[in-house]
Amino acid sequence: MDKAFVAQRVAKKLFTTEAAVDGAMVEAAELLSEMLKARKDVNASLVFADDVQVKMMEAIRALSEARSAMVGVHNELNDAKLRLGIRTKMDGMDKPPQAVVKTATTMREVG
């Protein structure tokens, strides 16, 4: 099998894994936010379920470490690709969409 096609197959899985780790981080952060809001909404003390909040922060830290490891994997695989003599970019691969940057809308006077 052609090395470029093998590299493309691995790259697709890499991008999918990177997106999954980022998605898990987003979900975990949103869960933490909901937990903190819920405590406030039920008028619970700050010490209520504090151990749960600490565990949630540990989980987010672990996800952050996993994300950093995936960045390392990405870089290592890029180096391996070059060592195999694959120099072309894999155009047409289903790379995850980049974050959408919203531009500021200016208001104008009407009338």
How do residues 32-76 score in pLDDT, each as one tens digit?
999 999 999 999 999 999 999 999 999 999 999 999 999 999 999
Does pLDDT of 93 surpass 70? Answer: no
Q: What would the mean pLDDT of 15-35 be, rounded to a whole number?
A: 97
Burial of 53 (0-12, 13-18, 19+ CB in 10 A): middle
Distance from C-alpha of 20 to C-alpha of 56, rounded to nearest angstrom = 18
Q: How far apart are the first and last CA of the chain?
A: 66
Contact 17, 41 (CB under 8 A): no
Q: How far apart are CA 86 and CA 7, in angstroms?
A: 8
